[in-house]
Structure 1
Amino acid sequence: MSSSFRFLILASSSAGNSAYLTDGHTHLLVDCGLSRRETFLRLQNAGVDPDCIDAILISHEHSDHVTGLGAIAKKLKKPVYLTQATANSLEPGAEQQYFQPIAAGSLLQIGTFSVQSFSLPHDAVDPVGYVFQSEGRKVGVCTDLGYMPDSIRFHLQDCDLLLLESNHDLEMLKVGPYPWSLKQRVMSRRGHLSNDVVSQFILDDLTLRTRHLILGHLSEQNNVPALAHMVAAQAIERRGLGQLELTVAEPRKQSVTFEL
């Protein structure tokens, strides 16, 4: 298989979210939750020249996804795709000249990538996930959602690589340090996915085509990487998905580069 198709998580947690994807022709940045300096440093550490980025895609307006957007967009001067409601919710700035508003659910062509957006149930104004297809490969990026409706299960079918939220362990959340109002928000249908929900998704929906499953957006207070990995690995074993490589994106850390 060609190593020109690559996926890299620069960060995935409530402290910041950003990922890089390329098929060797088009180079995309998904979310800008790190500063420009840190984003570019992590790209360079992986051998990626930040100037190669052709477009930026934003999932929603929460700060852990857009902190670096203004500075990054102004430096790269490349299109920024996001929903109109998300754009409207951001502080006005010079970077808005690069905004390309999209409708949630729309299919985009960005360079050599076909990009399907889809709505997410989350407490943001108009949050979306993305599925990217090029050269016969399919990559899904789906974090910040409270549950898994059928529409999302449909879009995530047959991904070669999937970044999926595994935010919290329900028992850790219940006894953890969060105030009750925040616990309710996280557990709600507009909050975040638990390890158990991810396990059920693996049992019900993952197919033999999926080669890489990456668990992301782990809570640093209500989860631990080893626990998220264990719960998902048990489901993978029950399904007999021996071909599947399971990875946990540890909070605040850059991942290895995944090749498809």
Structure 2
Amino acid sequence: MSIRVAVLGSGSSGNCTFLATSRARILVDAGFSYREITRRLASIGERPESIQAVLITHEHTDHISGLGRLAKQLRIPVYISALTRAGLPPNTELPAVETIEPGKRYQIEDLVVEPFTIPHDALDPVAFRFSAEGLRVAVATDLGYLPENVKDHLRGCHCMVVESNHDLEMLRNGPYPWYVKQRVMARTGHLSNAALGDFLRQEFDGEAQVMVLAHLSEQNNHPQIARMEAASALEQRAASHLKLVVSSQSEPTEVFQF
């Protein structure tokens, strides 16, 4: 038994993550066009026809822009909360829906799916923890801070895809209007490099073998800055064994296998 994970792309223009076990193949979010998702799947050696489900974190465009076409083309179920589904564009047709609730568990073949609530300015935003044969993966982006329930779901994970959205100084001095800066920095906004660093420095349990920094702002962050902040925190936590990867908006990460 193994779990394979690849972030197909992550950022303000689109988000999609691939996860597979020996029997299950799923996507988290569909924030690129169907054509782009299939292209990125092909680049990691996967066929779109093999995907069995897509799970949606929230209704913002960078997470659902390709959802309707993807679900219709592949005839696969969409795992989505009732409120998030209600927030989709009116013309979004979903051939099959599995309604999910935070705090409950769902089974897709040999994969256990646990959605959990996150603080973000959406109708019913969730992140996910996945388990199969004792292996655990968390995908948690688009959250203004790390409350205890999120930290609990990150603990014990072998792979973490976690937000490192912005550098605070770059955001404060950047071109965004002040109200947008306030939204990003709010407790229902996006996680800063510094906030993630504080968690890693103070509360990271050291279990993860791979950590993928995701949803980096193109305007208010830089891959090297995000990496340095996280790497410094991990070094102070004596977690230098961990593989630290910065995801990209434009191309997939490598495929990580556990």
Q: Which string of whole-angstrom CA distances, capped at 9 and with x for unpartnered residues, describes residues 12-48 of structure 1?
A: 0001000100012100111000000000011011110
Post-superposition shift, 1:205? Answer: 2.3
Tell me whether 1:105 sits opposite 2:95 in the alignment: no
Q: C-alpha distance in 2, partners of 1:242/1:231?
A: 13
What does residue 82 of structure 1 align with?
80
Q: Does 1:190 align with 2:197?
A: no
Shift of 1:94: 6.2
Are positions 1:136 and 2:134 aligned together? yes
Q: Which runs of 4+ in 1 moved over 2 A?
A: 91-97, 250-253
- Alignment match, 1:174: 172
205, 208, 218: which one aligns with 1:220: 218
Partner in structure 2 of residue 62 of structure 1: 60
Mapped to 1, the partners of 2:82 and 2:36 lie a distance apart of: 27
More displaced, 188-197 or 248-257? 248-257
Q: Please say if residues 106 and 116 of structure 1, whose CA atoms lie closer than 8 Å, have aligned partners that are also in contact.
A: yes
SS in structure 1 opposite 2:208?
Answer: coil
Instruction: Kindly indicate whether the alpha-carbon contact (under 8 Å) linking 2:76 and 2:95 is maintained by their aligned counterparts in 1.
Output: no
Write the letter of the residue equivalent to 1:70: G
Structure 1: runs of 5 or more not aligned = none
Percent of residue pairs identical = 44
Figure out how many residues of one structure are paired with residues of the other and give that number: 258
Q: How far does residue 95 in structure 1 lie from its aligned partner after superposition?
A: 2.9
Q: Distance in 2 between matches of 1:52 and 1:129?
A: 23
Distance across 2 between alignment mates of 1:111 and 1:93 = 30
Measured against aligned partners, the alpha-carbon deviations of 1:162-202 in whole angstroms (never above 9, x if no partner) come to 00000000010000000000000000000000000110111
For the Cα contact (< 8 Å) 1:158–1:206, is it kept in 2?
A: no
**How far apart are 1:242 and its partner, in Å?**
2.1
Separation of aligned partners in 1, 2:90 and 2:174: 37
CA distance in 1, matches of 2:156, 2:102: 21
Deviations 1:132-178 (A, max 9, x none): 00022100000000011011101110110000000000010000000
The C-alpha deviation readout for 1:43-66, integer Å capped at 9, x for no partner, is 011110110111110000000000
TM-score normalized with structure 2 length: 0.97
Aligned to 1:165: 163
Gaps of 5+ in 2: none
Quote the offset at 1:110 in angstroms. 1.4
CA RMSD of aligned residues (A): 1.1
Residue aligning to 2:148: 150
Whole-angstrom distance in 2 between the partners of 1:36 and 1:114: 26
Distance across 2 between alignment mates of 1:57 and 1:63 = 14
Which residue pairs with 1:241 in the alignment?
Answer: 239
1:202 aligned partner? 200
